[in-house]
């Protein structure tokens, strides 16, 4: 069973702190690694991102990959922040999992080091684990543009609004996979899912990837296996694409 040792864990944790503290911090001679897979998870506030990440990590951990989760939340105006995503990942199965690393960040304002250093931080994390999951509030909220530094971008949608909302949401063009998060309090989930499939799914992006839409229920952990399948399909697609060119 693969695991992250305590030495690795502490180096990773303290390295990330340095990146966040000093905008221009770099570790020289750090080679790019390609074997690591970076998944980005975005979505508007309360769409259910962190709730979704919990079963997502569990499913990925079952396949014996080591996982690092970087969770980004906005800071308040006064500089303080309440980072509660980690609490959502509390679970008897994950609490003491030695193949899992969880780290929460506050953005510390719009033009902070985090915005600049995030690609470097992800690059650094790649050296320690098989899969990196990055969660941010996404477009407009934190100004962290993660689509450029991840391999697979998942957008979590809450079934709110109708066709027009789907046209509007800013990041829709960039995401590879959409997850419509079903919840009790929304009654028109089925309809919204159908609309999302029409508007967002089955479109092919510049690289030739056909977008996919999944219906999940993060709280009741339904549809997660299918979502993970979709993620793997995208990874395979990326690898195949890379194959001939190298």
Partner 1 sequence: MYKDKKPTIRQFAGMGTARHTNARLKKIDKFGGTGYSIAMDLPTLYGDDSDAPLSRHEVGWDGVAIDTSQDVYDMFYGIAIDQKSVSFTINASAADFMARYLSVAQKRGIYPSRLRGTIQNNIYGEHYSQNEVLFPLKQGVRLGVDLMEFCAKYIPDWYFVSCQGYQPRESLCSPAMEIALPFACAIGYARKLLERGLKFEQFAPRFSFFFDSHNNGMEEIAKYRAARWLWAEITHRLFKIPIPRKYDLKDPKLQSMWCRIHVQTAGCTLQRNRPLNNIMRVSNQVLWAILGGAQSIHANAFDELYCVPTEKGVRIAIDTQLIQLHESGFSDFPDAFGGARALETETERLYEEAKREVANIENIGGIAEAIKVAYPQKKIHENAVKEIAKLEKWKNEPDKQYFSAKDEYQESELADIVRELEERRGFEKEQLERLRAFKKDRSEIAVQNTLDSVKLAAERKENLMPVLIAAVKVATTGEIHKALREVWGGPEAMPLITSRLSREATLKLTGGYKFTVPMRVLIAKGGHDGHTVGFYAMQDVFRAMGAEVIHLGLRTTPEVIAKAAAEEDVDMVGISAMIGYAPGFFEDIQKCLQEVGRRDIEIIGGGIMLPQDEKTIKEKLGIKNIYVPGTSDFGQIISNLKEKFGQ
Binding site for partner 1 (CB under 8 A): 6, 9-10, 12-14, 16-17, 75-76, 78-84, 86-88, 90-92, 95-96, 101-104, 106, 108, 219
Residue 16 neighbours by CB distance under 10 Å: 21
Query: Please, which residue, 18 or 194, has the CB nearer to partner 1?
Result: 18
CA distances from 5 to 9, 37, 96, 98 (A): 6, 20, 13, 8
Query: Please, which residue, 118 or 196, has the CB nearer to partner 1?
Result: 118
Q: How far is the CB of 1 from partner 1 (least distance, A)?
A: 17
Q: How far is the CB of 120 from partner 1 (least distance, A)?
A: 16
Query: Please, which residue, 14 or 245, has the CB nearer to partner 1?
Result: 14
- Joined together, the tokens standing for residue 122 give 């992800």
- Helices 6-21, 113-125: axis angle to 10 degrees equals 160
- CA-based nearest residue to 54, from 43, 74, 66, 69: 69
Q: How far is the CB of 149 from partner 1 (least distance, A)?
A: 21
Contact call for residues 54 and 121 (beta carbons, < 8 A):
no
Query: Please, which residue, 125 or 169, has the CB nearer to partner 1?
Result: 125
Residue position matching structure tokens 């994950």: 94
Q: How far is the CB of 235 from partner 1 (least distance, A)?
A: 25
């Amino acid at each position: 069973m693969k695991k992250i040792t305590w030495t690795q864990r502490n180096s990773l944790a303290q390295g990330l702190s340095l990146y966040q503290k000093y905008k221009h911090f770099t570790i020289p001679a750090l080679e790019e690694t390609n074997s690591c897979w970076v998944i980005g998870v975005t979505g508007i506030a309360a769409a259910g991102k962190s709730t979704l990440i919990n079963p997502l990590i569990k499913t990925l951990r079952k396949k014996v990959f080591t996982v690092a989760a970087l969770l980004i939340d906005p800071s308040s105006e006064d500089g303080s922040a309440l980072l509660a995503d980690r609490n959502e990942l509390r679970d008897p199965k994950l609490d003491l999992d030695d193949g899992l690393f969880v780290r929460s960040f506050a953005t510390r304002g719009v033009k902070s080091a985090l915005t600049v250093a995030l690609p470097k931080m992800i690059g650094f994390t790649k050296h320690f684990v098989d899969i990196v999951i990055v969660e941010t509030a996404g477009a407009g909220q934190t100004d962290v543009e993660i689509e450029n530094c991840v391999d697979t971008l998942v957008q979590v949608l809450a079934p709110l609004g109708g066709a027009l909302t789907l046209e509007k949401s800013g990041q829709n063009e960039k995401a590879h996979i959409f997850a419509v998060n079903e919840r009790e309090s929304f009654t028109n989930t089925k309809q919204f899912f159908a609309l999302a499939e029409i508007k967002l799914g089955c479109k092919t992006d510049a690289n030739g990837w056909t977008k996919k839409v999944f219906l999940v229920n993060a709280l009741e952990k339904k549809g997660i296996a299918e979502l993970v399948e979709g993620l793997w399909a995208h990874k395979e697609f990326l690898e195949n694409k890379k194959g001939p060119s190298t």
